[in-house]
Amino acid sequence: MLKVLLVDDEAPILNNLNRVLPWQEMGMEVVGMARSGMDALRIAEEKQPDLVLCDIRMPVMDGLTFIGKLREMGLDSEVLLLTGYQEFDYAREAIRLGVKEYICKPIHYEELGNKVREIGAKIRSKQFKNKLYNSIPIFQEIPEGEDDSGKKTPDQLMNQAAKYITEHLHSDIGIEEVANKIGISGSYFCLLFKNRFAMTFVEYVTLQRIEAAKFMLTNSDKSITMIGSGVGYQERRYFTKVFQKQTGMSPKEYRDRCRTEVQ
């Protein structure tokens, strides 16, 4: 059973999240409910949840601050953000913290259930890949002049790479740039990257850019051209082409559909 933590400062929403969704049927168990980021951190440290459903706006410690603390604790729980915010900075920060999934308030529980099932499948797939990956010994290249006491694990290197990519989605980034940034060769970078993410560098960057664009299309009123530019596509026509290939619809169609679902 996957472990789930529910976080929302509104008691009715929190209770509905716990009661309405068929958690056991989905192979999940709610191991904790919290009405503040501080309470959620204490529960997360004890229960080590696989999935966190978290409101973005809470008193004392908001959702993004909570997620940041969660990452500082070393927990890589998948996060489904419950959001009504419409600011690009929140989208950028959420993506930097590894949040790729979100549901707009007011919550439509059928849509939420479908999203949770989808995330559950991704978590189980990731867990399987990690077991397979960790069973294969991979040794890091040691730069000249550095002894093995200073080496980083493949996971640490790829976490560093993923962070750099997220922070530079707006620019034209390439394999050599990221590899140099984390201090390994391009060929070794490609090997580690494919083992960790099960996709090529270009596929991963494209996926992250489209996820960022989807978040902004849903949660901001910025123009499609500005959103495309913000995730590294300076030409609207090319942005639309890539977005349509990844999602099956144009940015405008995606935005219109999301707004229709919220109404």
Residue 36 lies inside a defined structural domain of this protein: yes
How many independent structural domains does the chain possess? 3
Compute the distance between CA of residue 117 and CA of residue 120 in angstroms, rounded to an integer. Answer: 5
Using DSSP, state whether 173 is helix, strand or coil: coil
Claim to verify: residue 192 and residue 206 sit in the same structural domain: no
Claim to verify: residue 190 and residue 128 sit in the same structural domain: no
Residue 148 lies inside a defined structural domain of this protein: no
At 142, give phi and psi (nearest 5°): -100, 115
Dihedral-angle region of residue 248 (phi above 0 means left; psi in -120 to 50 means alpha; beta otherwise): left
pLDDT of residue 61: 80
Claim to verify: residue 21 and residue 125 sit in the same structural domain: yes
Claim to verify: residue 97 and residue 217 sit in the same structural domain: no
Q: Please, how many CA atoms are within 13 Å of residue 230, restricted to the half-sphere of its CB?
A: 20
Contact 167, 230 (CB under 8 A): no
Claim to verify: residue 51 and residue 169 sit in the same structural domain: no
Claim to verify: residue 81 and residue 27 sit in the same structural domain: yes
The CATH number covering residue 191 comes to 1.10.10.60
Compute the distance between CA of residue 89 and CA of residue 64 in angstroms, rounded to an integer. Answer: 11
pTM for this predicted structure? 0.53
Q: Please, how many CA atoms are within 13 Å of residue 86, restricted to the half-sphere of its CB?
A: 9
Q: Which pair of structure tokens corresponds to residue 54? A: 């978290």
Compute the distance between CA of residue 201 and CA of residue 193 in angstroms, rounded to an integer. Answer: 7
Residue pLDDT tens, the chain, 263 long: 899 999 998 899 999 999 999 999 889 999 999 998 899 999 999 999 999 999 888 877 878 888 888 888 888 889 888 876 665 566 667 777 777 677 777 788 888 898 899 888 888 877 766 654 444 444 344 343 343 445 788 889 999 999 899 888 888 899 999 999 999 998 899 989 988 888 889 999 999 899 889 888 888 888 999 999 989 998 999 999 999 999 999 999 999 888 776 55
Q: Which pair of structure tokens corresponds to residue 123? A: 């978590």
The CATH number covering residue 70 comes to 3.40.50.2300
pLDDT of residue 89: 64
Question: 175: domain range?
Answer: 154-198
Among residues 166, 198, 230, the one where a domain terminates is 198
Claim to verify: residue 56 and residue 165 sit in the same structural domain: no
Q: Please, how many CA atoms are within 13 Å of residue 129, restricted to the half-sphere of its CB?
A: 13
Compute the distance between CA of residue 190 and CA of residue 201 in angstroms, rounded to an integer. Answer: 7
Residue 40 lies inside a defined structural domain of this protein: yes
